[in-house]
Amino acid sequence: MSVTLWLLALVPVAALIRFVGIPDDTPHQTKPFLRQIFDGLCYTILRFLHLAFAVNKSFQSWVQMTLLQNEADVHDLLLSDRPALVEERMELEIFLLSLPQRPEHFAVVLPDGHTDDIVDDVEALCAWSGMAKIPRLTVYTRDGRLKDSADAIEARLRKSKIISRAYDNKPPSIILDLGTHHAKRHITSPGNHPLHVSLWSREDGFPALVELSRSLAKQVSTGTLSAKSIDETMVASLLKDPFGFAHPELLLLYDDLLCIPEFPPWQLQNTEVYQIGQGSVKSLGDAVVRALGSYAKIEKRWGK
Amino acid sequence: MSQQSEFIFALSTTVFLAYVVLVGTHSKHSAMPLQKHCRKLCSQASKIFRKFLVHILQQGPIPKHVAFIMDGNRRFARKSHQVTTSGHVAGFHKLANVLEWCNDLGIKHVSVFAFAINNFNRSEEEVSALMHLAKDKLKELADNSELVRYHGARIRIVGNKALLPSEVRQVMDYAEKTTQDNKGMTLNVCFPYSSTDEMTSAIRALIDDAESGKLQESKISEGALESRLQIPGPDLDILVRTSGQIRFSNFMLWQSSKMAYIQFIDVYWPEFSLFHMLSIMISWQCAYLGIEKKKQTVAECARPCMLSASVSDDETCCSEREAA
């Protein structure tokens, strides 16, 4: 019995010592049988680790969602007259206005395939920007659905009650920008609180840089510009914000996949990125509040 | 204790003592104290354990290109009540460890953000200390490191070298030249670097090629621009930033924006451990299929505008494909 136990302990250890030093450059079919067994065991352990990681991630998301006190749905908060919601709204307003720093330019990346709610989401984000007194908002989807829905979005923003309530019943002057090849649209009459909104897609990033290169190449070939004068300052001035604001200071990545889906790269240089999966929050409003709370704590050092 | 466990305990102790005695009597350091033997044994055991963990991870996909923003050296030094320079030295040692782990894992390209162009805004004393450190450590890396000598790593210095003092530039040129024919891991040391400077240089290079006739104006495309970046490829798989800061700080913006998996880790760079590295790898492997699926959709939509002059078809193409 003890010999059996000893063998059971020794064999894996021996395999471990024997095989981990061998470089894995042999094709699979020529690997020795024991090596294949060992690799199979390692693969099983790896899959177990993946499972453990996925379970841990789901548990953390569940904990975050369960412990959350307020739902922060902007329609309920702004339109309802129930005392509990009115109180919640006031607390939220005090919280947002007391943040030691807020971004001037707030960008939100929505996931692809986000079709049905996209107009609602843009409206809600405009309302949140109003509550947090953020003058500049950019909403981005890689696939250009925002631009396709521009008419619907404009119609919704024009008569939005929640946006009006977010600005203390004084409808803001909203200027809608659809990117480089489109004219700006002015929604509602000029008021005290302008809100500049951009609806971006992939075409405002990499293709825009290519377009810029083409345009500069043409100017150089016609002699109106010297190639030597092309420097970072010139490129920066050509890629500046259409409304004169700084590039996005805070980017909310509202997607379960922790990747930037081709957001315009030049504009990301000094951006704080707040990642939150859709599965970790009850609503987009909740994600916005957390992102603003996180931004309030950051320290900008500008390389120093 | 049962009889079986007594037997196993006695056998293990015998094996251990036999090892110590044999190594003691046959080694030229026969007077080596027991602690050193133990340390050597522990070090070898941890090496074997590390190789075992790496072997497990290698059963799944391995990223081709990983980038690190090595942030938190100065705060680490302050936390440890040391001078700033010692934080940077600790950062370099950690870099050496991380490169070893990446090499073991089979990651072919590693990019590290060693010095940003706007780091020249720091005090003259600190900048000077960083330049001296870069000079010494790069030479050490190129001449004496196991990574270069045994594993054939290739060093590339990426950035605006014209901003550097001449003696630092000489060492950098030396490190690049002596390793240019190596076939192992490629290490891109970004020093001094900013992504906007990189993109501007790529635009300028594109225009120069168009002017000289090497490239027709109609062929100016995303692919042509990307190939002129200082770090053109392969596609960045994972970007890691330590110290808990959640920004890119003008590092590899073009590459990161192309679906790189972003990980912001709340630990100072000198404290970045193998555990953190392995967690990042497992996390990436779990997300791998989702990322690849998204990249395929992206590649299908981007192909027309990567190759041709027209950009207006892009969003229609993407919308139609997404709807399908």
CB B91 within 8 A of CB B70: yes
B290 has a chain A CB within 8 A of its CB: yes
- Please tell me which residue, A35 or B201, carries the higher pLDDT value: B201
**Is the per-residue pLDDT at B27 higher than 60?**
no
Helix (H) or strand (E) holding B283: helix B274-307
**Is the per-residue pLDDT at B250 higher than 60?**
yes
Nearest CA among A299, A257, A277, A274 for reference residue A108: A274
What is the tens place of the pLDDT at every residue in B148-207?
A: 888 899 999 999 999 999 999 999 999 999 999 999 999 999 999 999 999 999 999 999
Contacts of B59 in chain A (CB under 8 A): 39, 42-43, 46
Who contacts B294 (Cβ-Cβ below 8 Å, separation ≥6)? A112, A257, A259, A261, B259
- At A10, is the pLDDT very low, low, confident or very high (cuts 50, 70, 90)? low
What is the tens place of the pLDDT at every residue in A139-177?
A: 999 988 888 889 999 999 988 888 888 888 888 889 998
**Is the per-residue pLDDT at B316 higher than 80?**
no
pTM: 0.84
Asked if B4 lies within 8 A of A112 by C-beta distance, the reply is no
Q: Which of B220, B292, B296 to mutate to test the interface with A (most CBs of A within 10 A)?
A: B220
DSSP annotation of B246 reads -
Who contacts A115 (Cβ-Cβ below 8 Å, separation ≥6)? A145
CB B73 within 8 A of CB B269: yes
Residues in chain A, how many? 304
Rounding to the nearest 10 degrees, give the CA dihedral for residues B42, B110, B94, A23: 10
Question: What pLDDT is attached to residue B322?
Answer: 41
Q: Which tokens sit at A108?
A: 């939100």
CA B213 – CA A291 distance, rounded (Å):
49
Asked if B258 lies within 8 A of A262 by C-beta distance, the reply is yes
B248 has a chain A CB within 8 A of its CB: yes
What is the tens place of the pLDDT at every residue in A59-68?
A: 887 777 776 5
B221 has a chain A CB within 8 A of its CB: yes
CB B192 within 8 A of CB B116: yes
A51 has a chain B CB within 8 A of its CB: no
Question: What pLDDT is attached to residue A189?
Answer: 63
Contacts of B311 in chain A (CB under 8 A): 203, 207, 210-211
Beta bridge partners of A106: A137, A250
CB B51 within 8 A of CB B105: no
- At A5, is the pLDDT very low, low, confident or very high (cuts 50, 70, 90)? low
The interface pTM score, or ipTM, of the predicted complex is 0.84
B38 has a chain A CB within 8 A of its CB: no
